[in-house]
Amino acid sequence: TSIMRETFGSDFGMFGYYVYNNTTIGLRIAGMGLLAMVGSMFALGYQGVVLGAMEGYVHYAGNTERFYTFVAGHSAFELIGIVICGTAGMKLGQAVLKPGQESRGAALATAGRRALPIVYGGALLIILAAFFEGFWSAGPASSQTKYTVGIVNAVLLTLYLTFCGRSGEESDAA
């Protein structure tokens, strides 16, 4: 690790840590959906409680500006990526609960094939968040610049998720 920090700097090391930690959380949330959807719901709720507790502590400690400027740039990608992973887990859990005419194994295999692109998308957003978190969030940019980047990221992500994949024809994947 020290060779990586000397060669690439501590930002690269933090980027690697954030990729590992946050992607692991997203994949765990997706996988926990196999527990009849309850696992994903619990994991998403747990993450919400943890993040809320952290934010509450920061407010209590009075260091809000440093916290918000750190999370502004990457929070949209990270939070939406985690929720998307949870959605994939819910698809898996739904196959366990309601396999329909297929066996549970066949329904789970079908749901897994449909959920995998969703997991990829969630993981990609989490990796993008890690890039911002590692190389931008702790950087020297002004608070105004960091807030602006965060707002732009959130708007662009919202527009992308709202309009991507729309072709005018109804999809049968719903």
pLDDT tier, 162 (very low <50, low <70, confident <90, very high otherwise): very high
Q: Quick check: 44 and 82 in contact, CB under 8 A?
A: yes
Q: Which two tokens mark 1?
A: 């690790």
**What rounded mean pLDDT belongs to the chain?**
90
Is pLDDT above 50 for 144? Answer: yes
User: Which of 62-66, 96-100, 126-130, 153-157 is predicted least confidently?
Assistant: 62-66
Q: Quick check: 129 and 26 in contact, CB under 8 A?
A: no
Q: Quick check: 73 and 137 in contact, CB under 8 A?
A: yes
What pLDDT, on a 0 to 100 scale, did the predictor assign at position 5? 47
Residues 6 or more apart in contact with residue 61 via CB below 8 angstroms: none
102 Cα distance to chain centroid:
31
Q: At 151, is the secondary structure helix, strand, or coil? A: helix
Please state the rounded mean pLDDT for residues 2-9.
53
Which residue is it, tokens 């997203």?
26
- Taking only the tens place, the pLDDT of each residue in 76-106 is 999 999 999 999 999 999 999 999 999 999 9
pTM above 0.85, yes or no: yes
What percentage of residues in the chain have a pLDDT greater than 90? 82
Please state the rounded mean pLDDT for residues 46-59.
94
